[in-house]
Homo-oligomer: A and B are copies of this chain.
Amino acid sequence: MSHPLLDLNNLLRPAVGEYGLDPDDLAPGGRLHQRFAEAFGAVEARRAAGDLGFLELPHSRETSRVVAELAESFGQWFSDVIVLGIGGSGLGAIALREALLPAGWNELGDEERSYYPRLHVLDNPDPRTVDALLDRLDLRKALFVVVSKSGSTAETMAQYLVARERVARVVDDDKLRGHFLFITDPEKGALRALAETEEIPTLAVPPNVGGRFSILSPVGLFPAAICGIDIEALLDGAAAMEAACRDGDLTTNAAGALATALHAADTEGGKSIHVLMAYADRLRAFTLWFQQLWAESLGKVKGDTHVGPTPLPAVGATDQHAQVQLFMEGPRDKVVVFLAVDPPDDDVVIPDVHPDVDALSYLAGHALGELLDAERRATTEALRRGGRPSATIEVGAADAHTLGGLVMLFELATVYAGALYGVDSLDQPGVELGKRLTYGLMGRSGYEATAFPEPDERWRF
């Protein structure tokens, strides 16, 4: 059982000179230490008010027991599970699949998957993607998990209607409902009502858990469990991190230290772009999960001012050949958080095929995971020497326990950062206008079709 370890050294002045934070500000009695203590108080008040349901998720094992039972009873009947869900309703399932199942899970044979189902996530109403997947699968052995907290997300509802009609083509009427599971609000919304009318099984998203904080609710747990991921270990790791972050002293609260450092780097150091760079393909999807969490929680209008850092996902070593040139020499508007993963026990050794070729022979006898980790260390050090701050989170083998801890670390850091920025990290009012305009264009009753401005042809090329 390992825990994520956060290292902030390369964010500080001893490492990066004038571009870093002053350790004295972070130490007890320091300016930022005090600032976090206040933010912590604000978050604790929201916890006490019952707003922060995600903090309870790892502790209530009643839900995970129900999820596990349902997953087990369903799992044996289906070879493909398709999550229909967008944003927070899809990103968690993708992140867990990629991080915790063997690479290329959906391309493995039944035996290699130990007869657990493949897991697909349709997170966009793109007709080509949807059609190609539904065409390819044997829908008689497919389970659709429809995830929408509100029960009315247009993209997900459209996909559900299409999937429902496709399944109806190949199964008997009385079998149809058995191919669907709804994950939605426990009481409200169209999906809930539909489930009751049609006796479709459901799992609930607690009302005080928003979409982007729902990965440890049934939204993330069910898809994980049905593929055999150890959801108890995931919750254990999250619970341990949550328990370790229960005081307002940032020298012991890792999530608080991370939030305070990133907030100060932005608001005092102009480092408004927060890069999360994972040195492992299987954490690529996790960086997208983080992107939504950080962007949608913190990007807010506050009176007349607009605040919020821009999260930027990256993967090492790949992005050393794409984004690192910009990170090294571009504007000093970024701070990088690295995710460091241990090489696997069965690391791939590089053979000595061409001992006489200088550009190749030095690699022989090393292993790929060793090379990847050397690249991470080298990139971190090159940034440091250029006065470019970074933090590193060591996630060891990145197993379910550690990943649970990492999820909670970032979720907690998000609500702390919300308090530091002075915004409500739980709402998303900025997307309402776009939704209303879409409804109007689609002719939903009660929504006006709006006239869009005519373009000036001079500026069309």
Contacts and interface: CB of A to CB of B under 8 A. Distances in A.
A164 interface: yes
Nearest to A461: B254
Interface stretch (A60-68, A201-209, A349-357): A349-357
A160 B359 CA distance: 12
Contacts of A130: 348, 368
A107 B104 contact: no
Contacts of A369: 126-127
A381 B437 contact: yes
Interface in A429-450: 429-431, 433-445, 450
Interface in A120-137: 123-133, 136
Given A322-B291, A368-B130, A299 B357 contact: no
Chain A's interface size range is: 35 or more
Interface in A335-357: 343-344, 346-348, 350-354, 357
A312 B315 contact: no
A171 interface: no
Nearest to A363: B158
A281 interface: yes
Contact of A281 (B126, B190, B326, B442): B126
A161 interface: yes
B272 A333 contact: yes
Interface in A89-117: 89-91, 102-104, 106-108
A162 interface: yes
A296 B322 contact: yes
Copy number in this complex? 2
Contacts of A91: 322
A292 B165 CA distance: 41
A317 B124 contact: yes
A360 interface: yes
Contact of A7 (B189, B331, B368, B455): B455
A371 B15 CA distance: 51
B86 A317 contact: yes
A170 interface: no
A75 to B, nearest CB: 21
21 contacts: A5-B460, A7-B459, A7-B460, A8-B459, A14-B456, A104-B132, A108-B136, A125-B371, A131-B346, A154-B363, A164-B353, A165-B351, A190-B357, A190-B359, A291-B322, A292-B321, A292-B323, A310-B326, A324-B431, A377-B441, A382-B437
Which A-B residue pairs are the 8 nearest by beta carbons?
Answer: A87-B321, A299-B326, A299-B330, A328-B430, A378-B437, A254-B461, A103-B132, A292-B322
